[in-house]
Amino acid sequence: MEHNYIAESFETTVQWGEILVVCKASTEQIILSCKREGIKTRPFVTFRVSQIYDTCGTLYCYFGYSCEGLDDPVGTYSRIENEAREAVMKNGGSLSHHHGIGKIRKMFVPKIMPEMVTNMLAAIKKEWDPKNIFAANNIIG
């Protein structure tokens, strides 16, 4: 932050035939989101495949930008990443791979999981973890 630059990565799983589509769509979305958020310089966006499977690969998206002059750099980053993740999912990518869902991706659960499944998970969690100690407020509860 002392250099007025913010960067991070997120991962997804994508079928081989969709990797270039996901890269293009998420890059375009990041650039569009940065402009909308008032970021004056072009963001850095790149990708790598970290794990290889028969039908798909784990794709990491790395992006960063100058956050100089932004009132809320972390909130801005979150909005841009969420919009990029939406583009990933609209183009065949999954919500996550091995990093899971957790608190920061919880808002996407209704888009990827039927309510019946989340209700079932909530019932299991209530039975096994009635005090909500483990993974509190992650996917459910």
Quick count: other Cβ atoms within 10 Å of Cβ 80?
A: 24
Question: Nearest 10 degrees: CA dihedral of 92, 96, 101, 106?
Answer: -30
In 3-141 the beta strands, taken as DSSP E runs, fall at 5-15, 44-52, 56-66
Do residues 10 and 70 touch, judged by C-beta distance below 8 A? no
Catalytic option among 60, 62, 65, 77: 60
User: Distance between CA atoms of 141 and 131, rounded to whole angstroms?
Assistant: 11
**Dist CA 68 CA 92 (whole Å):** 33
77 is annotated as an active-site residue? no
Active site residues: 60
